[in-house]
Structure 1
Amino acid sequence: MEARRAVIYESLETSMERNGGILDEESVRQAVQQFDEFMKPKAYPVMEGQDIRLLCCPHAPEAARVCFEAATEIASVVHAPNSIHLNTEASMHVTLFHTSHPDDRRAFSPEIRAQELDVLRRIAASVPGFTLKVHSIVIASSGSIVMLFEDPEDGIERIRDQARSAFPSMPKKQPAIIHSTLARVLSPSMTREDLAAIQDKCHELTTRLKGYQAPISSMWYVEETHFFSAQSGRHTTIELSSSTIH
């Protein structure tokens, strides 16, 4: 898995170069459609009984601060008329998987919610708190700016592996990387020069933060209501085994 992840990380880091040094304008336009005129994420279309459910690991306060400060530094090199959306410090997280994905919804009810939470608590009880290490910070051709992590204790993979067995019918589209989204560029036609400034800042932050240890002690079960918004909707916190960070 580590070797496969390394290939994906390299592909992400070079995706803009392979696209001629510019963004994939169509991908960025699709993302822009999911924000309102104030650059706030829009609500998902309501589909009764098919709510979105996201599982993620929130960052501890110090790691969340590091993520947000990195996002803020990147935003400092983005100038008008270009637009960038930063995720909030309180929402910084690592996505685990979806039991119902925005593009592939699954049935939902109070009974299903209770069943999913019961399974997730059993998984959490079998996985001790663990530590991720920063690998790099990159801007992808999609406009997403992400902090990529190494998983030396296999904590994320243990959770995902158990989830695949416990939820055999969960959506096929699931993350293959370990990342926190810091920000999104919302200007499809940003110039090469402006994008190069973002890349330079990402490289600078990678040099500074590589190896930074981010402790993980819990999961969020998020009944997500808005695009790109793990802080939206109802949250249930599930502590990992032997966790000491709250």
Structure 2
Amino acid sequence: MAQKPPSSYSARPRSPATAVWFLPAAALLLVLFLRWPPPPMGSYAPVSPRGSGSDSVLARRAELYSKMAQDLDERGAAFLRGGETSQSLTLSDLFDTAEDGAVVPRLKAADPPVRANVLYLDPKFANVISKAVKEVFLPYLGQVIWFQNTSMYHFSMFHASHHLEPIVATDDEIEAEVEAVKGITKTVCPLKIVLDRVVLTSTGVLLGLWQVESGTDPAEIRSRLREVLPRAPQKQLYDPVLLHTSFARILGHPKLPQEQSVSSFDHIKFFHGLVAQVNEKIRGFQATVSELWYVEEYDVLALALNGKMKVRKLHLSCNNQGNENP
């Protein structure tokens, strides 16, 4: 399975023929890909990765994933109806069309920069996933799909500052945050994770939802980051048990099979079929996560749009922690 994707694949889609809207799933806001935002992290009771029964992390994560998998059926393919994104951004706000017809990001400065802590997925794993996704989706959505850069696959953990609650920091304060996070990574064990499922949300984002087989659970990592980053926004952007990454964003209508007419075409059934094909290829895929990145995003959605950022790469060394299991 760990084969590199064919070099003929491109991570840049061609320009859509008609006006479409873009819905990135970046590390800024869960509502970018789910129109039912879960309660902010601060509203949850503390969780223990070693819990059991209905209150356990694994059970809560499974329940959350089941709800996310139902989003497309419950809300429909909103990304096909046009309009604005949750940040009042349209495709033209986020992308330009190059001379060769390729869509390229229109980067905008983030003021102040977002400061995010993310777990990083090595490209040797991301390439396998990207290959499978492109094999299934490119034939139908080659012009209207944006693929996440395989060198930037990540799992958002905790924000020291985000756009909803900016926390301005001096250079010295940022360096102090980095040192505090570095101290946490020395106590965090690398994660062995398994792809629970791939889902497509009503806002057009193809997501990988993961479970943890061993290592320090994301809920515990977020809890430790909260302790060492007391100035961080109280309302974080994700359920503390969530472990997800974005694979692609659909920008518009697919190419219809020749035998189908627009009036009779069932888009929901069609997209479920594509997602099922991806799940058949990579559901159960295993990976190891051994880095946490402290990222300053100088451009809006820099992690999603290959923008300007400053990255501190921190290794999860698991000193004196033993082999943690969820």
Asked if TM exceeds 0.5, the reply is yes
Equivalent of 1:35 in 73, 94, 97: 94
Alignment partner of 1:65 is 2:127? yes
- Partners in 2 of 1:189 and 1:68 — Cα distance? 19
CA 1:71–1:100: 2 relative to 1, 3 Å: farther
1:71-112 deviation per Cα after TM superposition (whole angstroms, max 9, x unaligned): 3134324347x6111111111122212111133221122112
SS at match of 2:165: coil
Are 2:72 and 2:268, in contact at CA under 8 Å, matched by a contact in 1? no
> What's the counterpart of residue 200 of structure 1?
273
Q: Distance in 1 between matches of 2:217 and 2:292?
A: 12
| C-alpha displacement of 1:27 | 6.1
Describe the superposition over 1:144-184 as per-residue Cα deviations: whole angstroms up to 9, x where unpaired. 11111002334322211101222233231322221110111
Deviates more, 1:152-161 or 1:133-142: 152-161
Q: Name the residue aligned to 1:113.
A: 174
Amino acid at match of 1:62: K
Residue 239 of structure 1 aligns to which amino acid in structure 2? Answer: H
Give the stretch that moved more between structures: 219-228 or 133-142. 219-228
The residue identity in structure 2 corresponding to 1:169 is R
RMSD after superposition: 2.7
Change (3 A) 1:96 1:127: same
Q: Is the 8 A contact 1:99 1:167 kept in 2?
A: yes
Query: Partner letter of residue 173 of structure 1?
Result: Q
Following the alignment from structure 1 to structure 2, what is the Cα–Cα distance between the partners of residues 188 and 229?
26
**In the aligned structure 2, how far is the partner of 1:59 from the partner of 1:151?**
14
1:209 has 2:274 as partner: no
CA distance in 1, matches of 2:122, 2:195: 14
Q: Which residue of 2 aligns with 1:236?
A: 312
Structure 2 runs not aligned, ≥5 long = 1-56, 98-102, 256-261, 320-326
**CA deviation profile, 1:9-63 (whole Å, cap 9, x unmatched):** 11211111112x322555647454552223444434442xx32112112212321
The equivalent residue for 1:93 is 154
Indicate the SS of the match to 1:76: helix
Deviates more, 1:180-189 or 1:217-226: 180-189
Q: What is the alpha-carbon distance in structure 2 between the residues aligned to residue 227 and residue 42 of structure 1?
A: 10
What is the percent sequence identity of the aligned residues?
20
Give distance in 2, aligned partners of 1:64 and 1:86. Answer: 11
State which of 180, 205, 219 in structure 2 corresponds to 1:157: 219
The alignment's TM-score, normalised by the length of structure 2, stands at: 0.65
Partner Cα separation in structure 2 for residue 88 and residue 152 of structure 1: 26
* Runs of 4+ more than 6 Å apart: 188-192
Aligned to 1:22: 77
- Cα 1:44–1:97 change in 2 (3 A) is farther
TM-score normalised to the size of structure 1?
0.85
User: For residue 164 of structure 2, what is the amino acid of its counterpart?
Assistant: D
- Decide which structure has the larger Cα Rg and report it: 2
Question: Aligned pair in 2 of structure 1 residues 184, 138: CA closer, same or farther (>3 Å)?
Answer: same
Q: Determine if the alignment matches structure 1 residue 9 to structure 2 residue 9.
A: no
Q: CA deviation at 1:240?
A: 0.7
